[in-house]
Structure 1
Amino acid sequence: MDPVTQRKINHTTYLELNSGHKLDSHDALDDFFGSRSIGSRSNRRPCREISPGVRSHGDSAEVELVTCVACTERWLKSYTFSTPCRHRYCPECLTVLFDNATKDESMYPPRCCEQVILLASVRSIITTELADTFADKAEEYETLDRTYCVNPSCGRFIPPSVMSYNHAGCHECGTSTCARCKKKYHAGHCLPDHDMEKLLKLAKEKKWQSCSNCRRLVEKRSRCDHIETIFQSRTTRIALVVKHLVQ
C-alpha cells in the first residue's frame, strides 16, 4: 500500500474514533478527500473539521491541526510535511508537487518560497514509483549536454553514466546514438551539421544569445535584460543577465 493511501486510511480511523460512529471506508475517504484524480481541485470537498481540544480515545494530547499551504485544507499536523521554509503540505499536494516536476522542467526542483525540497526528505511520503521516476528525471534535468535516443519512436534520455566515449547505447530500444553530434552512431569524425550552421547564422543575424550553461538560444522581445534559463540545479535556479540582446 502506498504512503498516501495509508495516510487516508489513518485519517478515516481517527475520524471514526472522534465522531462516535462507523464510517464506510470508501465513503469516508471520498468525504475526506473528495473523489478526484491527483491534482484536480474541482471536485474537492473540505475535510471534516476537528476542533482543537478534542481528545482521541486513550490519548491525552490535544489534536493539533495545520493548514496545507497548497489546498488550504485542515490536516492533523502529524500527517503533514514541513518544508524548509516551514510551510505545511498534505501528502497528496506534496505528491502533486513532485509529480509535476517530472513532467515540466520549469517546475524542477520542487520548492516552496524558492527553497528546494529534497527527494530524500519525502521518500517516506510519496510512492516508490514516483520517487524512482523523479530521480531519473532529476539526472536528465541536471545534465547540461544531454543525449537522447536518435530513434524517433523512442527518444529516451541516455544518462552519461552509461555512455562509452561518444557511444550512447539506448537501454530501451537498443539504438546507438553519437553523443557528440546527437545523430546515429558512426565511426570517425562527425559530419558537418548544415541545419545547425543555418540556425547559428540566423541567430547571429537576429542577435540571439545562447545560455552559457545549457547552450540554448534565447531571444529578447521586450522588457528588461534579465533572462532566466530553464536549466536549474538541486540547490539553486540559474539566472543569467544577458545584456545588449537588442541594440
Structure 2
Amino acid sequence: MGANRASPTAVIDGDGDENENEDVLLLYPIPTSQNTGNCPNDAISVEQYDDDRDLQLAIMASLAPQTRRKRRFIDLDDVVSPPSSSTSRNPSKGSAIREPGRSSNSKPDPTPFTCEICFDVKPQIESFKIVGCSHSYCSDCMIKYVASKLQENVTKIRCPVSGCEGVLEPEHCRTILPSEVFNRWGSALCEAVILAAEKFYCPFKDCSALMIDDGGERDAITQSECLNCRRLFCARCKVPWHSEIGCEEFQKLNKDEREREDIMLMQLAKKNRWMRCPKCKFYVERKEGCLYMLCSSI
C-alpha cells in the first residue's frame, strides 16, 4: 500500500470528430507529498487538500492561454467552382447584359414608324391599323380624319390612301375616338338607314333634331310640333310656322323672302295697298294721279 498517491486532475475531451471547437488541454501531474494519506495514521489534512487543490487550479489557469483549437485547413486548389447558371449571360457572346433599373423581362422599344398623313416619326404605341389595310397612321391623325368625314356626312369611311380597300369600323376605332366623335358617328349611321325622302330636320337652327316624314298625311297636316324643342313648324313647307300666309303663297316667295320679318312686311304692304316693283322689288305707295308709275331706280 506504499504506492505514490497521484493528485486528481481534470480531463477535457478533445475528440475533434464530434466537436471541432472543443479546447484540448495538456495534462500535467500535480506533485504531492509521498507516503501521505496511505493509512489512517497518515491521513491528509483538510488544509493540505485545499492547498493541493488551489495549486492544481493555478496550474490549469496558467496553461489556459496555451490551449489550442483544432483547425481545419482547406486547399483552395481542391475547390471545384459551381457550374454556371443557365440564366447567366456571357458578354463575349454578344448577349444582352442586365442593366440596373431594367427588368429582366423588359423588351427594347420596337422600331418607330412614319405616319402617312402627317409624315411624323412616331413610336409604335401611337400607331393605328385599319382593318384590311397595310398602311400606318398615328392616332391623332385618325381622330381628325374621322371627324372631318363626319362633317361631310360620310358614314362609310375608307383608308385615306386612294384605291385602298381598307374600311374603318366604329367599334375598332372606339379606343382612340373621343366620346363625342364616336356618338356622332353612331347617330350618322342611324340616319343613313332612313331614306333621304323620309327624313328632315327641325327648321330652327338651334335645334335641328332629326324627324321622319310620314308622307301619307303630308297634305292633310301642316302645323306640327318638334318633339325636341316643342316649337311649331310647317310640316309641308319644312319651315317655322307661318300663320300670316298660306303654304301656296309662301312657296311662291324667293328663299331670301321667307323669313318672319319678310312675311310681316308683306302683310303690312297688303294692308296699306302698297305695290311692288316687279324689277327691283321695292314697295311703293301711290298718293295721287293715274295708275301709271315710274320706278325711281330705273
| Bin for the TM-score computed over the shorter chain | 0.3 to 0.5
Over alpha carbons, which structure has the higher Rg? Answer: 2
Normalised by the length of structure 2, the TM-score is 0.36
Output the TM-score relative to the length of structure 1. Answer: 0.43
Higher relative contact order (CA 8 A, sep 6+): 1
